[in-house]
Structure 1
Amino acid sequence: MKIAVIGATGMVGREVTAEAVRRGHRVVAASRSGKPVESASAAEPAVVDLADAEAVSALAAKNDVLVFATGPSRTGGDHQEWLTASTRALEAVGSTPVLVVGGAGSLLIDGERLVDSPNFPEAYRPEALTLSALLEELRNAPAELNWTMISPSPMIAPGERTGSYTLGLDSPAGERISSQDFAVAILDEVENPQHAGRRFTAAN
């Protein structure tokens, strides 16, 4: 399978790239810098800016699936600009399946989004609200967009690749997940799609 990862140098993107290479896929590691992913030397580096819809369209045409592993900056930047660029990029992928890495803030507990709870960390709230808005845009997207979104557990960080995880839909499946096992869940969905047109989540 030919897989393109946009945002391949980020925490999740590099693990997805490495996991895809580990499984023998042909992988394009796309990012604004075009830097190679050290843990996945077999991946082909490519310079792709999310805001360049034409480049995203060309990437989609050459691959079997796209993984969007980019997100709004937590430390600054224009979130609306990122959201607009993401929307336009997704409009450009055509019929190529796309798996979007979302956030945990849109997950629900007793009908309430985590991002709306009083204990949600303020430092993460702007990012969570922007990713929640992207989920709503996907849910309202034209039927021809073949999308899936995966949200991590409320806590995600580099750790151990166990190959084991639990799935959920709109509510957290657990408290935490390693970025390595999150990548395993993503590649399992890429290889065997089970959540087309839906959001799901994974936890250790």
Structure 2
Amino acid sequence: MKITLFGATGMVGRRIAAEAARRGHDVVAVSRSGVLPVDGPGVTALAADAGAPEQVAGAVAGADVVASALVPPRDGTDPRAPFTAVYDAFLDGVRAGGVRRVAVVGGAGSLTVGERGTALMDTPGFPAEYRGEALAHADLLAALRTVTDLDWSYVSPAAVIAPGARTGTYRLGGDTLLTDADGNSTISAEDYAVAFVDHLEGGDHLRRRTSVAY
């Protein structure tokens, strides 16, 4: 399978590239810098701007699926409008490039918790410094849910995702935050990548959100 991956040099993007290449897929790793995110066969680097539709169209031409690990701006400004604008342009580029299937690395903030279905980002104790990013991802998910001409999917991680071990184990959920027996919601970035590439290979859960956690 040929996968064009945007945001390939980030924490999650690099691990998705590595996991997909490990399984023998052909990965075009796209970033602004064009830096190769992982060593080894199966991954080629390409410099392109996700906010420039013509560059996106050229990058995705011939791909079986486009994957996005793009993240909202983290410069202290409100990320919502810029993130929406980038994704609007990005999806226009995907369409122009002739690819129908798009898989997005999502956020956890809009996952619901408790009997009332409160969003995680609206619960007491949610870190204030992450609220803008959570809102930006919630906006993206809401926008994707109106898209009918692409086979999109949105894969939310656990509340806590960080570099760790690749165990190959995980659980799948939907719009509700997955927690373990102790109430913790975690996933390693490596196992999130396993789940994400499994999803790419399976081709299921289209036009909806999936969540991943231990």
- Give the secondary-structure state (helix, strand or coil) at the position aligned to 1:185: helix
Q: CA deviation at 1:78?
A: 5.5
The CA RMSD over aligned residues, in Å, is: 1.4
Alpha carbons 2:34, 2:45 under 8 Å: kept: yes
Segment of structure 1 superposing worse, 55-64 or 145-154: 55-64
Structure 2 CA distance for aligned equivalents of residues 69 and 200 of structure 1: 15
How many matched pairs? Answer: 203
Q: Which runs of 5 or more structure 1 residues have no equivalent in the other structure?
A: none
How far did residue 139 of structure 1 move? Answer: 0.5
1:183 alignment counterpart: 193
**Which stretch has the larger CA shift, 146-155 or 50-59?**
50-59
Structure 2 match to 1:37: 37
CA contact (8 A) 1:3 1:65 kept: yes
Matching residue of 2:25: 25
Structure 2 portions without partners, runs of 5+: 180-184
Normalised by the size of structure 1, how large is the TM-score? 0.95
- Report deviation, 1:191: 0.4
Q: How much has 1:40 moved relative to structure 2?
A: 4.7
Partners of 2:13 and 2:41 in 1: CA distance? 14
Instruction: Give the structure 2 partner of residue 165 of structure 1.
Output: 170
1:136 corresponds to which residue? 142
Contact 1:53/1:88 (8 A) holds in 2: yes
CA offsets per residue over residues 56-88 of structure 1, 9 Å max, x none?
A: 122222211011101112343552122211122
Q: 100-109 vs 66-75, which deviates more?
A: 66-75
Q: Distance in 2 between matches of 1:83 and 1:47?
A: 21
Preserved CA contact (<8 Å) 1:153 1:172: yes
CA distance in 2, matches of 1:53, 1:130: 20
- Report the residue type matching 1:129 in the other structure: L
d(CA) in 2 for partners of 1:121, 1:40? 37
The answer as to whether partners of 2:73 and 2:82 remain within 8 angstroms in 1 is: no
SS of alignment partner, residue 62 of structure 1: coil
Distance 2:39 2:172 in 1: 26
SS, match of residue 100 in structure 1? strand
- Tell me: CA distance 1:162–1:39, structure 2 relative to 1, closer, same or farther (3 Å): farther
Q: Tell me what 1:200 maps to.
A: 210
Give the TM-score, by structure 2 length. 0.90
